[in-house]
């Protein structure tokens, strides 16, 4: 992704929409991660907080990188809520914006979030310009990360750790709490990534857009 100067926003000839950005972003990410030997998944609309919030695109690899899209035709109304939810979960987060939102969005997101501007020409060809690179998240929360798992997936991990006694009939909130208590955050992230990459079948409404190395 090329570097980009905020002062150049008025030179973009075409206002973007979500679909055009999403297609171009998935293609770019796919080409990038195919260069490496590590398995990866690019997932559309990955549910966070039991599906209460969904991030537009998530890359699951040796880390979890979320990409939230705000095209010129979107609003930023839900962005504060999304910032709160996504900042608890992902190792890195990048906001992908059309030119209409770049300056107001910078007032909302944390400094460690990356920012990409989606640049489209009159033929609707979308490219990306980097305003700032995403940095490592300083504020992840174990329970929120555990909630990326489905109930049965969390129970399976607990059973493997011999820590599931009496939990099968408990609410899922109790199961996630137990998982967060018995694993440190790095071990928990590893279990979640491994499950999403290798074990999850079906994905329900969270449809993988691209898989490599399974």
Which whole number is the average pLDDT over 71-97? 96
Q: Are residues 156 and 127 in the same domain?
A: no
Q: Three-state SS for 85?
A: helix
Question: For the chain, what is the mean pLDDT?
Answer: 88
Q: Three-state SS for 3?
A: strand
Q: Are residues 191 and 155 in the same domain?
A: yes
At 11-43, the pLDDT tens digits run 555 678 889 999 999 999 999 999 988 899 999
At 136-157, the pLDDT tens digits run 999 999 999 999 999 999 999 9
Pairing of strands 126-132, 114-120: antiparallel
Contact 193, 200 (CB under 8 A): no
Q: Are residues 123 and 176 in the same domain?
A: no
Contact 42, 66 (CB under 8 A): no
Distances in whole angstroms, Cα of residue 176 to Cα of each of 84, 122, 145, 160, 180: 19, 48, 9, 15, 6
The residue ranking higher by pLDDT, 7 or 66, is: 66
Q: What pTM was computed for the model?
A: 0.87
Nearest to 100 by CA among 140, 61, 71: 71
* Beta bridge pairs of residue 44: 57
Percent of the chain's residues with pLDDT above 90:
70
Q: Are residues 155 and 126 in the same domain?
A: no
Q: Which domain holds residue 162?
A: 142-200
Q: Are residues 27 and 122 in the same domain?
A: yes
Query: What is the domain-level CATH number for residue 49?
Result: 3.40.1350
Confidence of residue 212 (pLDDT cuts 50, 70, 90): low
At 169-180, the pLDDT tens digits run 999 999 999 999
- What does the H/E/C string look like for 34-71? CCCCCCEEEEEEEEECCCCEEEEEEEECCCEEEEEEEC
Start-to-end CA distance of the chain, whole Å, equals: 27
Torsion over CA: 183, 189, 192, 198 (sign)? negative
């Amino acid at each position: 992704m090329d570097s980009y100067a905020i002062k150049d926003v008025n030179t973009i000839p075409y206002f973007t929409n979500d679909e055009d950005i999403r297609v171009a972003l998935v293609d770019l990410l796919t080409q990038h991660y195919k260069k490496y030997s590590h398995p990866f998944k690019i997932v559309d609309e990955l549910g966070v907080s039991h599906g209460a919030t969904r991030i537009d695109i998530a890359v699951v690899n040796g880390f979890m990188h979320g990409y939230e899209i705000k095209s010129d035709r979107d609003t930023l109304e839900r962005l504060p809520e999304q910032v709160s939810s996504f900042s608890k979960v992902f190792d890195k987060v990048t906001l992908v914006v059309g030119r209409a939102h770049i300056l107001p969005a910078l007032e909302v997101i944390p400094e460690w979030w990356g920012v990409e501007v989606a640049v489209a020409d009159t033929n609707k060809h979308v490219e990306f310009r980097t305003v700032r690179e995403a940095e490592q998240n300083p504020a992840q929360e174990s329970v929120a990360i555990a909630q990326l798992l489905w109930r049965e997936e969390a129970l399976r991990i607990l059973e493997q750790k011999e820590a599931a006694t009496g939990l099968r009939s408990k609410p899922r909130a109790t199961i996630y709490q137990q998982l967060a208590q018995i694993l440190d955050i790095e071990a928990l992230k590893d279990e979640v990534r491994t499950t999403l990459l290798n074990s999850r079948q079906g994905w329900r409404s969270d449809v993988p857009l691209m898989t490599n190395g399974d």
